[in-house]
């Protein structure tokens, strides 16, 4: 339920077309819909500006379909994250407006894309080619939430001049997302060059003492630049969501 749907309901009450009892039931019903294995939080687009997102991992395709059925009637945009190709195919077949991105492992259902809003542009940078899936998850999330997004990939610190060739992107961004694995040094270097907030996303790219992304994570939390915030390992979705929240607040 977004603000439009709510306003229509209330106007309908004001004009006597919907009884107060009916409206009350609808509102309560919509706030939290219990479908046995999930409590859908329809209230969230009102409270938080964007509907609940479906975390695909550990859910059966039946559970995901059941949750989507309830949501598509209420929401313009529905996101499913961390979903493999096999499950995604079943979902995109059922819902024409849903599309799957293989790299980012996301399904995006849009009645029509949200209008671009927010104060500026969200810039997304990846340190290496292997970090692209995470970076792309951030791009797609921020885009689906109605933000302008620019990106540049594979500009890690071992050849720092590659980054300097993209000064424009650094300067024009309202908020930057930087995805990096291995030693995770890129967010520090980027944040030292800019004024805006930088969201660092550690990735699980690497081996040995990269420790599945822990080393990048800890490095980013220890950044000697102060305009850096960090999200969970490989959490491109969270980075995109947070960047949107910053860009639109």
Q: What is the footprint of its own copies within residues 121-160 (CB under 8 A)?
A: 127-130, 132, 153-160
Say how many C-beta atoms besides its own lie within 10 A of residue 28's C-beta.
11
Which position among 16, 57, 93, 112 is part of the footprint of its own copies (CB under 8 A)? Answer: 57
Max Cα distance, the chain (Å): 68
Measured in degrees and rounded to the nearest 5, phi and psi for residue 121 equal -110, 140
Which position among 29, 48, 94, 167 is part of the footprint of its own copies (CB under 8 A)? Answer: 48
| Binding residues for its own copies, total number by CB under 8 A | 94
- For the chain, the distance separating the N- and C-terminal CA atoms, rounded to the nearest angstrom, is 20
Cα–Cα distance, 152 to 91 (Å, whole number): 30
Q: Report if residue 213 touches its own copies, rule: CB under 8 A.
A: yes
Cβ distance 222 to 184 under 8 Å?
Answer: no
CB of 131 to its own copies, least distance (A): 8
Which position among 4, 20, 47, 86 is part of the footprint of its own copies (CB under 8 A)? Answer: 47
- DSSP-based helix, strand, coil % in the chain, nearest 5: 45, 20, 35
Q: Which is nearer to its own copies, 88 or 190 (CB)?
A: 190
Q: Report if residue 61 touches its own copies, rule: CB under 8 A.
A: no
Place of tokens 């994570």: 217
CB of 218 to its own copies, least distance (A): 4
Q: Report if residue 30 touches its own copies, rule: CB under 8 A.
A: no
Which position among 138, 139, 170, 188 is part of the footprint of its own copies (CB under 8 A)? Answer: 188
Q: Report if residue 76 touches its own copies, rule: CB under 8 A.
A: no
């Amino acid at each position: 339920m977004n603000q439009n749907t709510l306003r229509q309901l209330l106007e309908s009450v004001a004009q006597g077309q919907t009884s107060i009892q009916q409206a009350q039931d609808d509102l309560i019903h919509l706030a939290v819909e219990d479908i046995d294995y999930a409590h859908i939080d329809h209230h969230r687009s009102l409270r938080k500006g964007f509907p609940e997102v479906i975390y695909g991992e550990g859910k059966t395709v039946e559970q995901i379909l059941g949750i989507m059925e309830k949501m598509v009637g209420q929401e313009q945009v529905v996101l499913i994250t961390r979903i493999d190709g096999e499950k995604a195919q079943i979902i995109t077949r059922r819902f024409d407006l849903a599309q799957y991105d293989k790299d980012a492992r996301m399904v995006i259902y849009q009645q029509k894309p949200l209008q671009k809003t927010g104060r500026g542009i969200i810039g997304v940078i990846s340190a290496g080619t292997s970090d692209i899936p995470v970076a792309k998850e951030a791009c797609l999330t921020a885009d689906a939430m109605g933000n302008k997004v620019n990106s540049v990939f594979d500009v890690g610190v071992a050849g720092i001049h590659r980054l300097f060739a993209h000064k424009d992107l650094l300067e024009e961004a309202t908020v930057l997302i930087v995805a990096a694995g291995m030693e995770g040094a890129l967010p520090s270097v980027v944040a030292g060059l800019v004024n805006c907030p930088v969201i660092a996303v550690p990735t699980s790219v690497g081996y040995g003492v990269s420790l599945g992304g822990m080393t990048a994570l800890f490095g980013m939390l220890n950044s000697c630049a102060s305009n850096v915030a960090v999200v969970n390992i490989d959490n491109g979705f969270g980075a995109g969501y947070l960047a949107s929240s910053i860009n639109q607040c």
